[in-house]
Chain A
Amino acid sequence: MMAQPTSVAWFARHELGLFWRDWIGMMTAGQRTRGIILTVILVIAAILLHLLANALVGPWLAEGIRPDKPTLVLVTGGGLLFWSVMLSQALESITRAYYARSDLDLILSSPASSKRLFAVRTTATAASTMLLSALLAAPLIDVLAFRDSPKWFAAYGVLAASSALATAIGVAITLGLFQLVGPKRTRLIAQIVAAIIGAAFIIGIQAAAILSYGTMNRFAVLQSADVVAHAPDVASVLWLPARAAMGDIPALALILIVGFAALAIAIVVSASSFSRHAVAAAGIGHARVHQATAAFRPASQKQALRRKEWALLRRDPWLLSQTLMQILYLLPPALLLWINFGRSAGTAVVVVPVLVMAAGQLAGGLAWLALSGEDAHDLVVTAPVAPRAVLIAKIEAIAVVIAVILAPLLLLAAFLSPAVALTAGLGAALAAASATTIQMWFRAQARRSMFRRRQVSSRAATLSEAFASIMWAGAAAILAAGSWLLAIGPAVLAILVLILAWAISPRKGASGRI
């Protein structure tokens, strides 16, 4: 049956249709074989993640899982780790609902109710947040459900309620920001808040682990006797979500009611102002006056390109918010390096992979901006510069930025051990080079403002980038531990990832083409 035009069901159907086409387009890029290959890769990844989850919870299962205080602390802490990421994602999506202009101008200028549209988009945010967190948590939940008790499937219900609550809080924060700082700054501040929320809990707990136990294992805190001793009694309402996840039906019902009631209230309260805020967001001016440009500086073609890249990176508020999380993740290893100053021990094994991963992730983002996000593509292509020279200049610009960010940490590591610094530097260089190369193979002309969707435009590039960074991080960690022979394994895997990425990339070796 056809839904009444402009009804909630009609908008929902419209949004679902767009989402489905987006998803199919993203997965297959119009090629059936590509879709099949990606599906196979995803199935293999799912199996591997389930095996990894099985290995992780194995010892816990062997001891027997009871709803006692240590278990409740561990489940709640783990859940909070997930929830902070959910809240971060929900806040980011909600902000986008106000600022994305793709079809908003059309809908806002039509006689259709913007309240209904907002209700649908907010619910869609909750659903997509739930989907992402479910994908991440599924291996753990499934293994627990199959090996311990099917009651663990209730954890999916907790995820749904948590997503709804996260979305409701995301709406409240966005509205609060509109009131406090106005539409001009809300988007940027919301992005930064989202990045901090996403990283804060993980970093906080990691910092506590480092300061108390000298380890980066965040679960060390959750499993420590001190924390368990100071935690509230098992009867406390604080443990309701954990108990619900473990299959306590009344607790689950209560959690679901709270989560979805919060979402409903948020929608009802905010829907009426959606149109007003969205229109205000559309009307923000960008005119920013700089000090009069100093006299033109002589520059070679490459210098001109590098300076332009640095100026754009420096002025890109989105880059700050998008990479803030990666930079924040560098704080714990820096802290670990700091407190272990003068003592070597196993610090290197922990610090090195984090630095290598951070370098890979940073390079991926920066490389996308420089290589794909070229707003004046026609200008650069029609300039009398060899395409190879353009590429080299842009890669140099990226390399300098990564070096500037990582240099203080590498220097700190060098005081700890020059060998560790060298290993970290080598791993970081390899991870950054891999990520940049992958971005070069997968580059496609896009606007810089599409940066946030860069992962969406090519899942294959994103996955390859992540896997290559992980493998280089693993190799560097093993090398830092003193076993160069074992380090060959992940290094070879990293190279295989690169070969696979090259094989499926749309630009096999097309480094110099238009």
Chain B
Amino acid sequence: MTDLPLALDIKGLSKRFDRPAVDGLDLEVRAGEFYALLGPNGAGKTTLLRMVAGLLQPDAGSIRVLGIDARRDPIAAKRLIAWVSDEPMVYDRLTPLEYLQFVAGLWEIPAAEAEATSRTLLDWLGLAPHANERCGGFSKGMLQKVALAGALVHDPRLIILDEPLTGLDAGSARQVKNVLLDKVKSGVTVIMTTHILEVAERMAERIGVIASGRLIAEGTLDELRAKARHGGVSLEDIFLDLVAESAAESSAAA
């Protein structure tokens, strides 16, 4: 670990529904890092990220976003965060520009600055021709891009994305990935969950693997490869191996 400031510092985070969804999890993500979070279905990835974004109250533990205690001062933390879920939540009856104007209002971005950023983002994401159309008729990919533009309009320092590429066509996925990589280059931290292991393999600097609400492994691809008992060439092999090991350990402990 370097001395770079931490964009996200999680200690002992827990959330229980019928069973523990996140179980005393510790996680550190450095500022300006692209971090991919992997895990099987129901591993607790979304619950973890929803707690960081302020959408769920943790049962225990601490969350610090760029040094701010997100549980003690959620408003200050939220100013720095952007959240994009797998289901784009956009108003059907607003146009992308109107949506971005609303988002800018929530984050208190000066109108002129917000307008310029909005138009640049829509252009960047290939949505400029649709800027004045209601979102109600948009495809899933277009809605996801509108949601992403909304996440970027307030220039967040930490972008959290939950399966942002689900349902996107290749062209749209490429556009979204490029935008995220550009953001990382400019010093923004990106944390993303994905089931598309190739995306994690190619984009992320570090990868965390979650199973049963715990972080069972993390590191660069090479570090993970070294940790996997049976080794493996691809991230898919490594991921499956780590998850199987964790499941076996859990069964043995039970």
Report which A residues bind B (CB closer than 8 A). Answer: 285-293, 295-301, 303-305, 307-308, 311-312, 315-316, 375-386, 448-449, 513-514
Contacts and interface: CB of A to CB of B under 8 A. Distances in A.
B91 A514 contact: no
Contacts of A449: 92
Contacts, number: 127
A448 to B, nearest CB: 7
Contact of A296 (B55, B92, B104, B136): B104
B112 interface: yes
Contacts of A289: 132-134
B93 A316 contact: yes
A311 B135 CA distance: 14
Given A382-B55, A386-B75, A296 B134 contact: no
Given A286-B137, A382-B54, A514-B56, A295 B111 contact: yes
A514 B54 CA distance: 8
A123 to B, nearest CB: 33
Given A296-B114, A383-B78, A288 B133 contact: yes
Most chain A CB within a 10 A radius of its CB, from B56, B90, B92, B110: B92
B79 to A, nearest CB: 4
Interface residues of B, number: 44
Contacts of A300: 105, 108
Interface in B76-109: 76, 78-79, 81-83, 85, 89-95, 97-98, 101-108
Most chain B CB within a 10 A radius of its CB, from A298, A300, A383, A386: A383
A25 B114 CA distance: 45
Interface in B116-156: 118, 131-134, 136-137, 147, 150
Given A312-B91, A378-B55, A378-B85, 4 more contacts: A288-B134, A295-B112, A301-B108, A384-B75
Q: Is the interface of A mostly helix, strand, loop or mixed?
A: loop
B190 to A, nearest CB: 16
B115 A295 contact: yes
Contacts of A380: 106
A296 B150 CA distance: 15
23 contacts: A287-B136, A287-B137, A290-B134, A291-B132, A293-B132, A295-B112, A296-B114, A297-B101, A298-B111, A301-B108, A304-B106, A305-B105, A305-B106, A378-B83, A382-B53, A382-B78, A382-B82, A383-B78, A383-B103, A383-B106, A385-B75, A386-B75, A514-B54
Which 4 A-B pairs give the minimum distances between C-beta atoms? A304-B105, A287-B137, A286-B137, A286-B136
A384 B98 contact: no
A311 B98 contact: yes
A377 B50 CA distance: 12
Contacts of B91: 308, 312, 375-376
Most chain A CB within a 10 A radius of its CB, from B54, B85, B105: B105
A163 to B, nearest CB: 34
B89 A514 contact: no
Contacts of A308: 91, 94, 102, 105
